[in-house]
Amino acid sequence: MDDIDLCGILVVSFPIGTAFSVPISNLSSILSATSETHVIIGAHGQIHFQESNNLVHIHTIPYQPGSSMIKRILKYATLQLKITSKLLSLRKKFQSVIFFTEFPPLLPMITAKIFNNKVYWLLPSKNSLSSNGALCSLIAVPSKVCYNLCNSIILYSTSLISYWNLESYRQKIRIAHEHFLNIETFTVTTPLAARPPLIGYIGRLSWEKGVQHLARALPAILSDRQDLRVLIGGDGALKETITAFLQEEGLTIRVDRPGWISHDDLPGYLNQLRLLILPSYTEGLPNIMLEAMACGTPVLAAKVGAIPDIITDGKTGFILENNSPECIMENVIRALNSPDLEEIAENGRRFVEENFTFESAVARWNGVLEGGSSQIYESSRIKM
**What tens digit of pLDDT does each residue of 25-60 get?**
899 999 999 999 999 998 776 666 665 567 899 999
- Least confident range from 49-53, 61-65, 101-105, 346-350: namely 49-53
Percent of the chain with pLDDT over 90: 72
Radius of gyration of the chain (CA): 22
For residues 285 and 301, give the distance between their C-alpha atoms in angstroms, rounded to a whole number.
11
pTM of the model: 0.85
CATH class of 2-180+357-379: alpha beta
Neighbours of 150 (CB within 10 A): 23
> In this structure, is the dihedral angle defined by the CA atoms of residues 89, 155, 135 and 48, taken in order, positive or negative?
negative
Beta carbons of 191 and 368 less than 8 angstroms apart: no
Between the alpha carbon of residue 284 and those of residues 28, 41, 48, 112, the distances in Å are 19, 22, 22, 28
Beta carbons of 56 and 32 less than 8 angstroms apart: yes
Q: What CATH number should be reported for the domain whose range is 192-355?
A: 3.40.50.2000
> CA nearest 337: which of 310, 311, 312, 314?
314
Average pLDDT, stretch 267-283? 96
Beta carbons of 377 and 355 less than 8 angstroms apart: yes
Q: Which residues belong to CATH 3.40.50.2000 in the chain?
A: 2-180+357-379, 192-355
Contacts of 106 (CB under 8 A, 6+ apart): 80, 142, 145, 146
